[in-house]
Structure 1
């Protein structure tokens, strides 16, 4: 049988009863938009992450976009981030009217190299978006130091970091605002799309609630220009049920990561490095090797389908050529993009399937 980098069917089978009960409860309630499940999930997830307020939105991209708008990013402002992220990070920055400015990554963790932040700050810099990539946090002490020094806002991109921790602080609790995605593949994902912005600033919360609902505080009257970006009741109800399993999801991901560490220790693959002070949530288990493409091709021949997150740094993409980036600007980012690939990683992955993946990988690596 084929083994994929991600799958949800086994998990759904285990949680089917409570999932369908959640859906039925919403459908029978008579309230489908911005009802009690959204309010309760906002409160529950914010508390789980150590933030005061949560504002549910329709997807993770709009979570970043609305967070940027809510913390005061305006057209023409610059936002510092990384190029080894999903396009939505940068798409949201551009949609907010801002200009993304990229810094390189640390070669061991693939996280933002915070030593480069100071040199990237200009008079136009309004915000830093640290991307907590693959399930572990950027060095937030360093980010906060630079942000404080220059009066810059911080919006954490936590799409891949539900439950990750930096020095005992949970991802999403360390910036002026933070953005989460509940896309199906995420550590906490729904059966569709959804997102949330967390903040402990009441003014930011108030603005977020207006922005996601056409700029309104009450129906039919817009206090400011806003958008239609609401988390719906069905997905909120599902996510409330799944939130109860989040600790178990994280424990299983870390167990699988530990098994990979042991089984692949002597293969010649570059294995994930957990930065000091971090609790890695292992959204992805990312390995690297210069012969990546050949290894992936052989895995596919053996019915193991892996993934690359991400094969093209954003500063090299045609859609963002107007930023003036070119190959050679971010050497560590570009080298990683040529070598990294993600192995199967999801809580319902069986030990037997993981063993098979590792056995095939060992044979491939032994023949290189």
Structure 2
């Protein structure tokens, strides 16, 4: 379908970058440094500096970032990891993949983020870590997370996939915990031209282990210290990401500006927004609206040429992939309600004033009819 207002505008991300980037790609193709080339190391240093950590390790995807981070931190069979049901399923998938047990908790009805009081109540003798998710781009209160983790002796992993540039307590997410896990999939605010991910952290020993782990567990060529993974950031993706990185804050400011227009123009309608973020605490990867008329509004928007979409229609604990966890409908009611009542409106930095007005006018017409 040819939408009047699309979810993404990929060409706009490369405006002014094409000549330099294509030249670098041409040089890369001729050099043969396709795997863990110099550009990967350069991007890792630049990304670590942007986030505010001493280390960044590029991997194949955001899912692999979670898997490898949990593995490198020593989490495995017999351990429990607490996380939130209102997230993309890769958050729980990573826990299962390293042999641990996901313990799902609900989210808050206003912020849509993990309910830390439920986390506290769910801690057992087997609990090793908590994964917090900065969902849709809004940061979790990391000061409260650190307090909870310190009191209970837990590791903290951040799923930062949707929240690049977002702050919590004045510091960028992904900069203060045992591991910040990042996705640079094409839909993300900082997007590769394919799959890509990274882990940010400040522990040199874990960082070194991750660098070996992503590359078959090797300390040197053919010196395999342990059973690792084949999960390396492609050099060509590092080139794309390094060229885009300098624009992230500019794009984030534009996303925040468009979000404020949405909130202003849609105020007073029978819908609500994700709330609780102070300035700088939301990267607006996705702009969510909540309404009991979700399905009808979604149909109306799409028929009107507006590429609205539902994220996520079935919460993790009710997905067939996790049926063995034993959860049932009604166990996590807020996540279940959000799955039925929320949709996201198009939001990207290249949106025009006319496109924003079209979205808002379309929603007003829906509710007025």
8 Å Cα contact 2:84-2:132 kept in structure 1: yes
8 Å Cα contact 2:142-2:169 kept in structure 1: no
Residue 310 to residue 239, structure 1, CA distance change in 2 (3 Å): same
Shift of 1:144: 1.1
Match for residue 363 of structure 1?
Answer: 365
Shift of 1:274: 3.3
1:36 aligns with 2:66: no
Match for residue 352 of structure 1?
Answer: 354
Q: Take 2:307 and 2:367, find their aligned partners in 1: how far apart are those partners?
A: 17
8 Å Cα contact 2:176-2:201 kept in structure 1: no
Q: Can you give the 5+ residue segments of structure 1 that lack an aligned partner in the other structure?
A: none
Match for residue 51 of structure 1?
Answer: 53
Match of 2:171 among 133, 145, 169: 169
TM-score normalized by the length of structure 2? 0.96
**4+ aligned runs moved over 4 Å, structure 1:** none
Match for residue 64 of structure 1?
Answer: 66
Match for residue 157 of structure 1?
Answer: 159
Q: Take 1:14 and 1:193, find their aligned partners in 2: how far apart are those partners?
A: 23
Q: Take 1:269 and 1:17, find their aligned partners in 2: how far apart are those partners?
A: 44
Match of 1:21 among 20, 23, 31: 23
Shift of 1:349: 1.7
Shift of 1:266: 2.2
Match of 2:138 among 125, 136, 139: 136
Q: Take 2:156 and 2:12, find their aligned partners in 1: how far apart are those partners?
A: 37
Residue 25 to residue 258, structure 1, CA distance change in 2 (3 Å): farther
1:270 aligns with 2:272: yes
Match for residue 226 of structure 1?
Answer: 228
Match for residue 183 of structure 2?
Answer: 181
Q: Alpha-carbon deviations, 1:297-341, whole Å to 9, x = none? A: 111111112111111001011110100011111111111111000
Shift of 1:277: 7.2
1:121 aligns with 2:123: yes
Shift of 1:278: 5.6
Match for residue 257 of structure 2?
Answer: 255
8 Å Cα contact 1:167-1:278 kept in structure 2: no
Match for residue 333 of structure 2?
Answer: 331
Match for residue 302 of structure 1?
Answer: 304
Q: Take 1:197 and 1:123, find their aligned partners in 2: how far apart are those partners?
A: 27
Match for residue 104 of structure 1?
Answer: 106
Question: What RMSD, in angstroms, separates the aligned Cα atoms of the two structures?
Answer: 1.3
